[in-house]
Amino acid sequence: MGPIIDHPTRYSIQIDDDKHIEGTAESNAYLNHSCAPNAYVDWNGVYLRALRDIEAREEVTCNYLTTDCGLHEKFNCHCGALNCYGELKGLKYLARDEQTKLLPFLPEFMKRKVAKGG
């Protein structure tokens, strides 16, 4: 893991309010976003875990909405999933029902934000 910083970057994941673990282009090179990911971040130690068997040469993906309240920069998703979010900005920009669907994959500080309605 990299250093803890106070703002999001292209290669960071959020671990608390105003706390992000900075990664590098090399360490995050193969972890892209999908609205129907095959992996998730296990927040009990910040591990990457598979949601299902991942085929050889299959891209490992996670849902960036479960790793950041507000992304460093918004982007349009083209993952092709039936439940594709389209434009991604971060968890705080989702409707409440969409946030609630992601609760099992959120770190505790994000679960508290959803519970408070923010």
Q: Give the range of the structural domain holding residue 58, as residue numbers without chain letter.
A: 4-112
Please tell me the total count of domains within the chain.
1
Pairwise pLDDT comparison (14 vs 25), residue with the higher score: 14
CATH of the domain at 71: 2.170.270.10
Within-domain flag for 100: yes
Calculate what percentage of the chain has a pLDDT beyond 70: 92
65-103 CB burial, b ≥16 within 10 A, e <16? bbbbbebeeeeebebeeeeebeebbbbebbeeeebeebe
Within-domain flag for 118: no
Distance of CA 93 to the CA centre of its chain: 13
* 17 close to 33: Cβ distance less than 8 angstroms: no
Within-domain flag for 97: yes
| Token pair recorded at residue 90 | 């971060």
- pLDDT tens across 30-43, in order? 678 999 999 999 99
Write down the pLDDT at residue 72.
Answer: 93
| Token pair recorded at residue 43 | 């927040």
Within-domain flag for 117: no
Amino acid sitting at position 10? R
Pairwise pLDDT comparison (93 vs 12), residue with the higher score: 93
Least confident of 20-29, 30-39, 56-65, 102-111: 20-29
Within-domain flag for 36: yes
